[in-house]
Structure formats: structure tokens, C-alpha cells
Amino acid sequence: MIARRNLIAAGGLALAGCASNPPAASLGRVVVVGGGFGGATAARYLKLWGGAAVDVTLVERNESFISCPMSNLVIGGARDIASLSHSYAGLQMQGIKRVRAEVVAIDPAAKIVALADGSRLGWDRLVLAPGIDFMLDAVPGLSAALDSGRAVHAWKAGAQTLLLRRQLEALPDGGVVLMSIPKAPYRCPPGPYERACLIASYLRRAKPRAKLLVLDANPEIQSKKALFERAFAQLHAGVLEYRPNAELKEVAADGLARFEFEDVKADVLNLIPPQRAGDLVRDIANVNRRWVGVDWLSMQAQAAPGVHVVGDAILSASGMPKSGHLANQQAKLAAAAVLQLLKGEAPDPAPVVMNTCYSFVTPTEAMHVASVHQYDAAEKTMKAVAGAGGVSPAASAAEGEIARAWAENIWADSLALA
């Protein structure tokens, strides 16, 4: 939460340092809130590139990092959750201060972050990487169904991932699993379709009479469409049934899921809620009160100068998915810009970010989508380079191996793993 009156009071660009109480680090203090792909990478690269001259503090409420990428393999029974969990010790080894706490208020005018225990952290520049939160009011009954465990979202990795796995293990052979996909934009466009493939793989192996019904609020598959259509038809036919243009309208107390044209009674309900920027940035989510608009040269929030926002919480540029890979890339852009601004210099006028995202269609075979995004000075946004990027010709075991290596390497890059 950001106190609105303070936000309004927030004026021009923040200046480095503090005249009455100069910080030990000559460039100044940066506080990063959120320890996912975006926040961890921002902290890591601020320190990597800023060295002793910058004081970096990472605030994250969870004890450890748990990766959403690869978590669908856990749901499908093909990977252990411990293998996608990492501590923040690597970042601490780099000289980053780690604070485990919940942020309760942000005051951009006073340049202070308030923590739940009553303590405060001062900063010269603030980086926020809150990820997404759910728009539960949009679907009556969804909040109660998630709270009771009758429905599972598993769209933030951790306890929900394991809960969905346990429910799939407890599913009787011949049972029905329902997955509902919200309207785009949501975190990880190919994620639901990958999950559908991995749940179907598990059911075929362990419960051959069970069915998976995938109801998508969107008119079509949102990423790697032709490849997923092929996987659904060739690998998962008979187990997986996919229907587009089916938006979840309500979840009844008995677990009946109501869609526009049908009601579905299922044994396992994986209901992925509609999404918006995380609660932490609600007051600076200036785009439809849902996403944070940013200046792409610095990742500064349009509504709060001095406050940089990266990852799933921002309004994505055209053709730019909400992915962990891009959160990492945006964080590097933000880190470079923050250091320039702390020096009183302009950020890089021509930043570039790129995306690579792998999806598994079976526990071993994966495929990718890739894109490169260059800054367009005339339109002041990032543009996907025409003629670049693309998808795999087909899913393969070779790309499955590369996907696993990608995960290890991006975790190490983001979290400074030894």
C-alpha cells in the first residue's frame, strides 16, 4: 500500500544522498521490495554493477525463493519442489542486506518504506517487484473456494503447488479435473497450457480413466498456439478436453463451477483467477487501476518518480509477456538506470530486453518462444523486433534438457547462487 496523500506530494526526481546524514555508500541507498525473479535480479545487479558505492537492501516476506517456472513439473509429479526452492544467502554473500519482513506502507515523498514490525527503511531510489495479486471480487465464490482449499490456483509457487499435487494424487481414477484460465493479461501466458499437458501426462500414466477439462476465458490459446494444439491433439487426446470462450462466472458453495454456457462439477478445481499488479503497488497502478505504467528507459513508475517497478506488475509493452525471464531483464535495465540516476547521469538511451520461455508438453519434451525488444525513442516504448524471435518447430527432448539448464542458469543469475 502506498499512502495516497504522500504519493500526490511526491514531486520531481529523487536526488542522491541526504545532506544531514550522508550514507556510507557514496552513491546512495536502494531498497528493493520483492524477492522473485525481478526483485532478486535488481538487487543482484545493483550490487554487481554498483559495488561498495551503493547500499542495497532486499525486503522479502518469504523465507526462500520458489520458482514458478518448472512448478508445473511438480504438479505433474515429475519434479520435487525442493529442486526449485533457493535461499537468499547467495545475494547476502554479495553484500546485499536481506530483510525478511512485510512492507505495510511506502512514502515516496519522505523516501521511506514502513515494515510490519514498525521499523522503517530510508532510500534514495526504490525498486518494487511485487508480482501479481488476484482480482477475486470478479468471480463470486472464488475467494471462499480458494480459502477452504476446495479450489486451488497454484499461480504463486509454494504451498498451492503442493496442494494441487496432493489433490491430483487423491483423485479417483475416473475423476474429473477442471482448470479455468482467466482472460489475458495474466502471469505467464503459456503456463496454463503447459500445466494442462503435464496434468494430462500424469493422468494418462496414473489414472487412465480420469479426465481434464480446460475452460479458457480467452478466444484461443494465448502462446505457442499451434504447438499446444498439436500437443493437445496428438499427445493428450482422450484425456484433455479444451474449450475456448469459457469464462468462470461463479463458484457455488458446493464447488459447482459456473461458466457462461455450462456448469461443471469436478473433483479437483484448479481455478486460475484474473490478475492485476500486486497489492504493494495498488496506488500507483495507473493503467485501469490494474497495472503500473513505466518509463521504459528507467522502469520508473509514471505515477511515482524515484520508484522503479519491474516484472509482472507493470503494463507490458506490446508483444511482451509477463514472464520471469522478462522480469529478470527489466530488473537489469532498472539496475543500470538507477545507478546512472544516482550518479546524476542519464540512463542508457537505447535499452534492449529479450525473452525466452520454455514449456513442457510431457515431463521430458519442451518447446520455446523467444523475442527481442528494442526501445523505440519516437513512441517511448519497447518494440518487439520484426523478423526476430519465434517458436520451436516442434517440442523435443533436446529442448527439454535446455529448458532445465535455462532454469538453473536464470536462478543462478537472479539469486547469485554459488
Partner 1 sequence: MRAWLLLLLCTPALAQDPNAGRSLAATCANCHGTGGRPHNATIPPLAGMPADTLLAKLTDYRSGKLAGTVMPQVAKGYTEDQLRLVAAYLSRQARP
Distances (CA, A) of 293 to 100, 161, 287, 304, 411: 28, 30, 6, 10, 27
Quote the CA–CA distance of 175 and 250 in Å, as a whole number. Answer: 22
By three-state DSSP, how is residue 273 classified?
A: coil
CA 331, CA 322: separation in Å to the nearest integer? Answer: 13
> Of 260 and 408, which has the nearer Cβ to partner 1?
408
Residues paired with 134 in a beta bridge: 275
Report, in Å, the least distance between residue 190 CB and partner 1.
15
CB of 200 to partner 1, least distance (A): 25
Q: Which is nearer to partner 1, 35 or 69 (CB)?
A: 69
End-to-end CA separation in angstroms for the chain: 34
Neighbouring C-beta atoms of residue 412, cutoff 10 Å: 14
Which residue number, 312 or 399, has a Cβ lying nearer to partner 1? 399
* Nearest-approach distance from CB 145 to partner 1, in angstroms: 36
DSSP label of 172:
P
Coil, strand or helix at 399: helix
Residues near partner 1 (CB under 8 A) are 45, 48-49, 325, 328-329, 332-333, 336, 347-354, 356, 368, 370-374, 385, 387-390, 392, 398-399, 401-402, 404-406, 408-413, 416-417
Nearest approach, Cβ of residue 411 and partner 1 (Å): 8
Least spacing, CB of residue 359 vs partner 1, in Å: 13
Q: Which is nearer to partner 1, 211 or 373 (CB)?
A: 373
| Least gap, CB of 390 to partner 1 (angstroms) | 4
Return the DSSP state at 183.
P
What type of residue sits at position 407?
A
d(CA 182, CA 75): 19
Tell me how far, at minimum, the Cβ of 13 lies from partner 1, in Å. Answer: 19
| CA–CA separation, 315 and 318 (whole Å) | 9
Specify the residue, 212 or 407, whose C-beta has the smaller distance to partner 1. 407
* Residue 235 CB, nearest approach to partner 1 (Å): 20
Cα atoms in the 13 Å half-sphere on the side-chain side of 302? 14
- What's the grid cell of residue 416? 547469485
Q: Which residue shows C-alpha cell 482472460? A: 183
Residue 241: strand, helix, or coil: strand
User: In terms of CB distance, is 78 or 264 closer to partner 1?
Assistant: 78
Q: Which is nearer to partner 1, 117 or 345 (CB)?
A: 345
Cα–Cα nearest to 123, from 49, 28, 20: 28
Q: Considering beta carbons, is residue 180 or 329 the nearer one to partner 1?
A: 329
- 59 φ/ψ sector (left φ>0, alpha ψ -120 to 50, else beta): beta
In the bound complex, what is the minimum distance in angstroms from residue 139's beta carbon to partner 1? 34
- Find the farthest-apart pair of alpha carbons in the chain and give their distance in angstroms, rounded: 71
Least separation, in Å, of the C-beta of 47 and partner 1? Answer: 12
* Smallest separation, CB 15 to partner 1 (Å): 21
Q: Which is nearer to partner 1, 153 or 368 (CB)?
A: 368
Backbone dihedral angles phi then psi of residue 181, each to the nearest 5 degrees: -110, 130
Cell of 232: 493437445
- Indicate the residue among 218 and 381 with the shorter CB distance to partner 1: 381
CA distances from 366 to 25, 69, 231, 406 (A): 45, 13, 11, 12
The grid coordinates of residue 38 equal 525481478
Determine the Cα–Cα distance for residues 292 and 297; give it in Å rounded to an integer.
15
Q: Nearer Cβ to partner 1, position 192 or 347?
A: 347
